Amino acid sequence: MAKKKKKEKAQRKKQKKTTKQKEKIKKETKKQEKVSSIELEKEQIVLAQQPVEEESKQKKLKRKFYEKELSKLQVELVRLQDWVKNKKLKIVVVFEGRDAAGKGGIIKRITERVSPRVFRVVALPAPSEREKTQLYLQRYIAHMPAGGEIVLFDRSWYNRAGVEHVMGFCTQNEYEDFLAACPIFENTMLRGGVILIKYFLEVSLEEQKRRFLQRIDDPLRQWKLSPMDIESYRRWWDYTKAYDRMITTTDTALAPWHIVHSDDKRRARLNCISHLLSMIPYESIPFETPKLPRRKRKSAKDLAEPRYRNFIPELF
């Protein structure tokens, strides 16, 4: 009996020791957790105090996401097209901006899935000798929309405030007269029932240089380069001054400028198209599904086979 009691006492002592050791371990772990939480809080405070990255450092949109969102916007553009035709609306969208800012890319995505009879693109060349003798705005008035049309100007009458002024293609008096007359001209358009939307695409100096070099090296893009583009690269600050005055002078309450950051082409396209859709109230018009009629039966007078035989070679 005495031996059993001794064994039980020894076991109890061991159990007490183990419980004490466990309690010590728990206390130490709690201390470590407190220290680590304090360190994490300090790190979070330091990170919060650091400056936020600029928009230019944002990650580029993935192609799948971009194409998915673009297809959604293009569906809405088709609905807008039906609404414009139904209500006989007259819409003018002006695209201005620096060279290589991405104006053509946005216009291409807008017109990709719609009818060219509704969405008309106007990209006028340099004026002819006859057009130089006309009123300056005369050549642009000829391209204004009728009811049920949307006209996209890939550069517009604002050439006078930009390239013509910087390159000396107009006199100082002609330049000043244009800036004074432009808001009056646009108000006249608006009173005539035209919806006018103006976009200016802004690209950074570094991104413009990268795109110019890309065009120089790529044979598929070399056609985009012109002597005027190269000269605009050299005269960056002259154009900056000209565009600044152009926007501040012609930015009115009825016809304001909308600036598009275009360093990231995909973001710029999605942002610009979604903004364009938000600027024109429209509704979805239900599609009336037509029924295909029966073909007429072949008569004795009909040809058995077509007469044309000059087919092109089928190489693919």
Over the chain (316 residues), the average pLDDT of each successive run of 10 is 62 66 63 49 39 52 96 98 98 97 97 98 96 96 98 98 97 98 98 98 97 95 93 96 98 98 97 98 95 88 80 92
State the pTM of this model: 0.79
How many alpha carbons fall within 13 Å on the CB side of residue 28? 6
| Residue 158 burial class via C-beta count within 10 angstroms: exposed 0-12, middle 13-18, buried 19 and up | buried
Amino acid 85: pLDDT = 97
Instruction: Provide the pLDDT for residue 310.
Output: 86
260 has which bridge partners? 201
Backbone angles phi, psi at 204, to 5 degrees: -75, 160
What is the structure's pLDDT at 38? 41
What was the pLDDT predicted at 313?
93
Instruction: Please tell me whether residue 135 adopts helix, strand or coil conformation.
Output: coil
Q: What is the pLDDT of residue 298?
A: 82
For the chain, the residue count is 316
Torsion of CA 202, 205, 209, 211, to 10 degrees: -20
Cα–Cα distance, 190 to 254 (Å, whole number): 8
**Which pLDDT belongs to residue 10?**
66
The tokens for 303 are 């040809």
Q: Which domains does the chain have, with CATH numbers?
A: 70-279 (3.40.50.300)
Task: Output the pLDDT for position 48.
Answer: 35
Nearest to 161 by CA among 249, 226, 224: 249
Q: Which residue has the tokens 């985009």?
A: 224
DSSP 137-171: THHHHTT---TTEEEEEES-GGGGGTHHHHHTSS-
Contact between 93 and 276 under an 8 Å Cβ cutoff? The reply is yes
Question: Residue 279: its pLDDT value, please?
Answer: 98
